[in-house]
Amino acid sequence: MNEQPLYALTDMTGREASNTRHQTVGPVDLPYRGFIVGIVAAMIGLIPTLFLWIIFGPIAGLLLVVIVTASIWLFHGATRRGLQIRNYQMLVNRRNSIMNQFMLGPAVVEVPHDDWAILKRGSAANPLKQVPPDEQPLRPVSTVARVTSLFD
């Protein structure tokens, strides 16, 4: 008899699998993507930090911290609402978006701001046509109501 445990491979190999992987560095457990982004950002940020180290001294190490933090926020962090896309993609989309226009088929339509309108529903209840509860049509009595009326 086979006593091996059954694994759900979708969680381990699916599209979101890389989000669940972690890397342990000393006492800190980091998401794998955040770890890779931080390492690449540290290698790239080391060059301007060394140039500033010559001018300002050890205080230039703060630039490296700022570069790594900003890159992790941009390339690993995601928006909290909506589609939860990466922050850099949100900024690119915001930059490339076209305000006050939308596509209606192949035509580009400008949104007019000078003639805003308030939309109201097309119908409203007529207070003269309301029926009091005594005159409403009879509804079928439920089985529970019939059974409980036997014991009254």
Beta strand segments in the chain, E: 22-25, 28-31, 101-104, 107-110
User: For residues 63 and 50, what is the distance between their CA atoms, to the nearest angstrom?
Assistant: 10
CA 133/CA 120 separation, integer angstroms: 29
Q: Which of 4-18, 83-97, 121-135 has the highest mean pLDDT?
A: 83-97
Q: Domain extents for the chain?
A: 9-110
Summarize pLDDT for 12-41 with one digit per residue, the tens. Answer: 666 666 667 788 888 888 888 888 999 999
Alpha-carbon distance 85 to 95, whole Å? 15
Phi first, then psi: give them for residue 3, nearest 5 degrees: -105, 10
**In sequence order, what are the residues at sequence separation of 6 or more whose Cβ sits closer than 8 angstroms to the Cβ of residue 34?**
72, 76
pLDDT value of position 113: 72
The tokens describing 82, both together, are 């909506």
Tens of pLDDT, residues 76-117? 888 887 778 888 898 898 888 877 787 788 888 887 777 666
5: pLDDT strictly greater than 80: no
Give, rounded to a whole angstrom, the gap between the first and last alpha carbons of the chain. 63
Say if strands 101-104 and 22-25 run parallel, antiparallel, or are unpaired.
unpaired
Question: Structure pTM?
Answer: 0.56
Nearest-angstrom CA–CA distance, 24 and 64: 21
Sign of CA dihedral 132, 137, 142, 147: positive
CA distance 150 to 152: 6
